[in-house]
Amino acid sequence: MEPGVLKDIVIIFALSTFVNFIFTRIRVPAIIGYLLTGIIAGPYLLGLISSPENVEVMAEIGVILLMFTIGLEFSLNHLLNIRRIVFLGGFMQLLLTAGVTMLLARAYHLAWNEAVFVGFLTALSSTAVVLKLLQERSELTTQYGKTIVGILIFQDIILIPLLIFMPMLGGGSADVGHNILLMMLKAAGIMIFIWAGTRWLVPWLLHLVAMTRSQELFLMSLLLICLAVAMLTHELGMTLAFGAFLAGLMISDTEYSHSAFGNLIPFKDVFTSFFFVSIGMLLDLGFVAGHPWLVLATVLLVILVKTAVAGFTAFALGHTFFGTVVVGLSLAQLGEFSFILATIGLTNEIITPYHYQLFLAVAITSMALSPFLIQASRPLARLILKLPLPPKMVNGLFPMKQVEIPEISNHTVLIGKDSRAINLASMLRSMELPFTSVVFDTDLARREMEKGSLTVFGDATFEPVLREAFVHTAELVVVSVGNLITALAIVEHTRMMNKHAHIIVRTRHVTDIEELYRLGANQVIPEEFETAIDFFERILGKYLIPRMDIERAIARTREDNYGTFRDRGRLGGYSLLKDIPDIEIAAVRVGDKSVFAGKTIAGTAMRKTCGVTVVAIKHGETVIPNPEPSITIHINDIAYLLGKPEMIAIATDLLTKEIE
């Protein structure tokens, strides 16, 4: 067996590892590293790859798996909810971009057929690049994320008629009527198949496989569904990537979607890297070196036109100025499916080899710039919003009617749109505790308002939005946004507005804790660590370890892992908790059959037996601070205990323990 393919894979992995190591250290997105790897190893520079066609095959698999996982995250219900965006927004963006580009191409004396071709070539954006970046930033389900996804889906769908009509621009004959009828029949067939598969076939098949309890069989079944649907759509004239997206949608509404996503992540990341490497291999550096100003000017022109048109489309769909900027810059690059059209154009002599090379240079450069443009979109939008813009431009054409929130204080403010924030809102509502919510998603905000919640729609990184939710008078602020940069900005603004609020933040990694504490958070809950704690607690319970010992072990584990960050950078004056390490205050409700119910504080000997101090007692609505030792503890009283976490765990066990 010839080791050529293996040699190419080793070269790509070696170069990618080295380049990405450097880029990770200087905080440059990995996509840039993959593109650079392809340029270095490609035929136009070092020529290290002996079988480029094998790399292209692996790249195709990468795009298929990427689109499949995106389909898993973006359910069929979500797709139906954004059908207006897909068809109205997608059509508007495609037609306007193609029209403006065609006029510019005609101004440069291109023939009308070449100008039309270049217009549609430019109108397509990179599904693989944009959705991968949005997926990494947890922004797929945001309001602007839905618009971006909707427009990209329309571009993938419209590729089919474009593939039919484009050869005609080169003088190729085609039976247009027959092709259109055939295309409509194929589309109807696929819709019926997807509906039936989502409703019956896929859930039934995955249930049968899951009952075998075989992880290998489950993974093989996922790949079979993904590749089979991709092949089916390809046979019907659509792209493999779009078919894989449809396969993901079919699984997304089943109970196995999360397991499927977890199984495929390692494969997706590996094979997707080959896609970006293969794109980089196409770039002819000789052409770029010979025409640097032409390439640079064309790249800037493409970015400006696509940003303006996509932004206008988003604004016409009702986005705020913030969303308009993010959507515009996110769709500012050329797409991977443009490479398919460009090849057809070259084959049918619609464009010359010179313009084909210019297209490759512009497409790859714009793709490489995409991570930076998307990263800069939010700060740029905030910067521009500081200017005195008209309210209609800031709030959008169809601003959502805000609920007038009455002046409120000593309440909780929930900031976030994920399931945790939604569930927490339901819990607070059931306990009749006062709270307001800040949500940056119109659909979710509208649903919360319909439930009677005091909800503010807007970006919580803006101070006026926080003030509208009365963050400045809140007792507790909970931040659950997923994105670290956004969380840091919210914590910083909240602390500046309210010196005394207790700020609780959810983050993904333990490494994020120190920076959040530095900006003013009081408590940071790292998702990855707390999940491990939950497992740890269940394991100890399974071994029948006493509850008191479990609480002690968990308290020690938390202290060992992120207790060192506690109270760093806190604002405010003197605090006993700040000067004495490892001290906490906890509120414990006295159980119905507690051994301490009916006893005085002195009679419980709490300080002697548990090492904690009762600093307050709440009886009904009355709070008794610094209670006398003669105060009696009643059933359902709340005792506020001061002490070390493990000692509080012992006292909690005694206060809630039933009489034997």
pLDDT in tens, 490-536: 999 999 999 888 898 888 777 778 888 888 888 888 876 777 777 88
CB atoms within 10 A of CB 476: 17
Q: Which tokens go with 56?
A: 């292209």
Cα separation values, 576 from 206, 400, 503, Å: 56, 46, 18
Pairwise pLDDT comparison (616 vs 548), residue with the higher score: 616
In SS3 terms, 1-46 reads as: CCCHHHHHHHHHHHHHHHHHHHHHHCCCCHHHHHHHHHHHHCCCCC
Q: What percent of the chain has pLDDT over 90?
A: 13
3-class secondary-structure state, position 435? strand
Q: Report the C-alpha gap between 192 and 190 in whole angstroms.
A: 5
- The pLDDT of residue 575 is 45
- The answer to whether 364 and 279 have CB atoms below 8 angstroms apart is yes
**Which residue, among 467, 482, 468, 474, has the nearest Cα to 419 in the 3D structure?**
482
What is the radius of gyration, based on Cα positions, of the chain?
29
Q: Which tokens go with 616?
A: 């307050």
Burial of 275 (0-12, 13-18, 19+ CB in 10 A): buried
pLDDT, one tens digit per residue, over 176-214 is: 566 667 767 777 777 787 778 777 888 888 888 888 878
- The pLDDT of residue 227 is 86
- State the DSSP H helix or E strand holding residue 66, giving kind and residue range, or none if neither: helix 52-73
- The pLDDT of residue 471 is 92
Give Cβ neighbours of residue 519 (< 8 Å, ≥ 6 apart): 488, 491, 492, 495, 569
Sheet holding 412-415, edge to edge: 454-457, 435-439, 412-415, 476-479, 502-507, 523-526
Q: Report the C-alpha gap between 52 and 92 in whole angstroms.
A: 37
Q: For all residues of the chain together, what is the average pLDDT? A: 80
pLDDT at 242 over 60: yes
pLDDT at 418 over 70: no
Residue 574: band (very low, low, confident or very high) from pLDDT cuts 50, 70, 90: very low
- The pLDDT of residue 571 is 37
Give Cβ neighbours of residue 276 (< 8 Å, ≥ 6 apart): 31, 34, 35, 38, 59, 128
- The pLDDT of residue 297 is 94
- The pLDDT of residue 4 is 63
3-class secondary-structure state, position 641? strand
3-class secondary-structure state, position 47? coil
Q: Report the C-alpha gap between 506 and 516 in whole angstroms.
A: 10
Q: What are phi and psi of 306, to 5 degrees?
A: -70, -35
Mean local confidence (pLDDT), 368-396: 86
Q: Which residue intervals of 285-404 are DSSP H helices?
A: 285-290, 292-316, 321-330, 337-347, 353-385, 391-395
**Which residue, among 428, 489, 503, 424, has the nearest Cα to 459 in the 3D structure?**
489
Query: Could you give the domains of the chain?
Result: 59-274+284-385 (1.20.1530.20), 419-565 (3.40.50.720), 583-656 (3.30.70.1450)
Q: Report the C-alpha gap between 126 and 140 in whole angstroms.
A: 15
pLDDT at 566 over 50: no
CB atoms within 10 A of CB 624: 14
pLDDT at 75 over 90: no
Lowest-confidence pick of 71-75, 176-180, 184-188, 412-416: 176-180
Q: What percent of the chain has pLDDT over 70?
A: 86
- The pLDDT of residue 208 is 85
pLDDT at 576 over 60: no
- The answer to whether 464 and 401 have CB atoms below 8 angstroms apart is no
- The answer to whether 142 and 136 have CB atoms below 8 angstroms apart is no
- The pLDDT of residue 312 is 94
- The answer to whether 454 and 471 have CB atoms below 8 angstroms apart is no
- The answer to whether 358 and 294 have CB atoms below 8 angstroms apart is yes
- The pLDDT of residue 1 is 42
End-to-end CA distance of the chain: 75
- The pLDDT of residue 511 is 74
- The pLDDT of residue 2 is 55
